[in-house]
């Protein structure tokens, strides 16, 4: 008995020691500091010509120009657009993504990429080492045998295990440095709908084709992760082209190495809300806004703006995240913010529409992981075609969604939302 007691005492002290080390480490890294709260005076409206300049400055965004030449919001059309773009490549294909799983979409993608590489096109892939872990090694060997260069972003390193939490969540396809496809969809059959999630339709996501000066900016951002992952960057004239800057302004927000104190994506979303006058429509599948973002949404509503949230229902791939999200609806609903849960399937689109003048989309969710952990990539612009397309997607999605009422929220499930949701919320910084 005394031997067992001794062992338990040793275990207690070991666990206590580890806990103290973890707390000290978090303290040194500044994890207990208050996050930045964006308080702005005389915020310009999206109609003001000063608005993009002000937003670019405070969010650490890159100012560029370009125009949207195409737009898709159905998974099949997004996949086909990517395959068509790949097949048109004559010189280079640069692709970056987070999520890939075995299946038809991944196989079709590999076949298209391998065919172009075998034809002499220089193909570079940056894929997240965690988000693509379900694909077997033979998948990558097949691509490499065809001449494709593959770099895995942020592979696990025993010398810095905590750094493994940082992922690339970007989705980027650049063809011949002439045009770029950017959006939120991964390479996975999940986007066809998943029966076990309760999906009755394909997932909702968006993708757009951009041309102009912005292509060179996005080439540079791709090369940043390419070199980080072990590749050699090519910044020659054939990659970084010179375009006349006479196209609509586009801001590029690369959320690179964000921290709890400095998050370009958080700054972009919050300051866009601050500048809104008549409308804030926000779409995020994983919706876990921090306290200040919730306050800004409620404030915009009080000032007369039409504030709506479009998010997923319990038909989603991360049930626990949904329960935590639902538990946080209360303050928003009490403040008059309208929350819509998309019913046919999982919504994966990330969009923000401000008034009738400004739109933001890309890879980032409104959640702690996108704010503080992932390397994201968002674009925002007043480009007319993109504004029109995003507004249409919102309108159609709202018509297929269920609006959550305050009375419904007050009668929420005791076990799923009040218990599980609150427990999960304690770990929301890693969700």
Tell me: do 143 and 204 sit in the same domain. Answer: yes
| Domain end (from 228, 263, 281) | 228
Whether residue 283 lies inside any domain: the answer is yes
Whether residue 103 lies inside any domain: the answer is yes
Tell me: do 260 and 309 sit in the same domain. Answer: yes
Tell me: do 197 and 341 sit in the same domain. Answer: no
Tell me: do 258 and 215 sit in the same domain. Answer: no
Tally Cβ neighbours within 10 Å of residue 146: 17
Tell me: do 207 and 323 sit in the same domain. Answer: no
- Structure pTM? 0.86
Range of the domain at 56: 37-63+252-430
Closest to 374 in 3D by CA, of 231, 197, 184: 184
Number of domains the chain is built from: 2
The enclosing domain of 329 has a CATH number of 3.30.870.10
Closest to 312 in 3D by CA, of 198, 426, 188: 198
Q: What does the alpha-carbon distance between residue 23 and residue 29 come to, in Å, rounded to a whole number?
A: 10
Half-sphere exposure in the Cβ direction for 202 (13 Å, CA):
16
Tell me: do 220 and 270 sit in the same domain. Answer: no
Tell me: do 136 and 208 sit in the same domain. Answer: yes
Whether residue 169 lies inside any domain: the answer is yes
Q: So what's the pLDDT on residue 410?
A: 94
Q: So what's the pLDDT on residue 313?
A: 94
Tell me: do 58 and 178 sit in the same domain. Answer: no
Tell me: do 422 and 276 sit in the same domain. Answer: yes
Tens place of pLDDT per residue across the chain (431 aa): 577 777 778 888 888 888 888 778 766 656 666 767 777 788 888 988 888 888 888 888 988 999 999 999 999 999 999 999 999 999 999 999 999 999 999 999 999 999 999 999 999 999 999 999 999 999 999 999 999 999 999 898 887 777 788 899 999 999 999 999 999 999 999 999 998 888 889 999 999 999 999 999 999 999 989 988 888 877 777 777 665 656 778 999 988 777 766 789 999 999 999 999 999 999 999 999 999 999 999 999 999 999 999 999 988 888 889 999 999 999 999 999 999 999 999 999 999 999 999 999 999 999 988 988 899 999 999 999 999 999 999 999 999 999 999 999 999 888 777 888 888 777 666 65
| Domain end (from 194, 228, 262) | 228
Q: So what's the pLDDT on residue 171?
A: 97
């Amino acid at each position: 008995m005394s031997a067992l007691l001794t062992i338990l005492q040793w275990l207690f002290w070991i666990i206590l020691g580890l806990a103290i080390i973890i707390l000290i480490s978090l303290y040194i890294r500044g994890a207990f500091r208050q996050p930045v709260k964006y308080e702005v005076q005389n915020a310009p409206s999206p109609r003001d010509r000063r608005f993009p300049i002000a937003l670019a400055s405070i969010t650490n965004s890159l100012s560029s120009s370009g125009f949207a030449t195409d737009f898709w919001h159905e998974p099949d059309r997004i996949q086909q657009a990517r395959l068509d773009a790949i097949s048109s490549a004559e010189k280079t294909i640069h692709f970056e993504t987070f999520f890939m799983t075995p299946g038809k979409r991944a196989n079709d993608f590999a076949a298209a990429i391998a065919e172009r590489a075998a034809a002499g096109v220089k193909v570079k892939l940056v894929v997240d080492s965690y988000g693509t872990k379900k694909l077997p090694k033979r998948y990558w060997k097949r691509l490499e045998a065809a001449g494709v260069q593959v770099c895995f972003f942020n592979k696990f390193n025993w010398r810095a295990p905590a750094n493994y939490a940082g992922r690339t969540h970007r989705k980027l396809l650049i063809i011949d440095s002439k045009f770029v496809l950017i959006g939120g969809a991964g390479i996975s059959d999940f986007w066809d709908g998943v029966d076990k999630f309760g999906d009755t339709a394909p997932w909702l996501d968006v993708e757009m084709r951009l041309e102009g000066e912005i292509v060179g900016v996005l080439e540079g951002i791709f090369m940043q992760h390419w070199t980080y992952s072990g590749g050699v960057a090519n910044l020659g004239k054939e990659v970084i082209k010179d375009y006349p800057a006479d196209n609509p302004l586009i801001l590029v927000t690369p959320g690179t190495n964000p921290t709890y104190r400095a998050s370009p994506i958080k700054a972009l979303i919050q300051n866009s809300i601050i500048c809104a006058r008549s409308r804030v429509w926000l779409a995020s599948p994983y919706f876990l806004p921090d306290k200040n973002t919730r306050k800004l949404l409620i404030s915009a509503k009080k000032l007369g703006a039409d504030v709506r949230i479009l998010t997923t229902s319990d038909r989603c791939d991360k049930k626990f995240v949904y329960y935590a999200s639902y538990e946080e609806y209360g303050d928003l609903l009490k403040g008059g913010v309208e929350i819509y849960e998309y019913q046919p399937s999982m919504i994966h689109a990330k969009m923000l529409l401000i008034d009738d003048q400004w739109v933001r989309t890309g890879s980032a969710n409104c959640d702690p992981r996108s704010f503080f952990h992932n390397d994201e990539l968002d674009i925002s612009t007043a480009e007319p075609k993109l504004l029109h397309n995003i507004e249409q997607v919102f309108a159609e999605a709202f018509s297929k969604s269920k609006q959550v009422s305050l009375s419904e929220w007050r009668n929420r499930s005791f076990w799923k939302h009040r218990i599980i949701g609150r427990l999960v919320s304690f770990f929301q910084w890693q969700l």
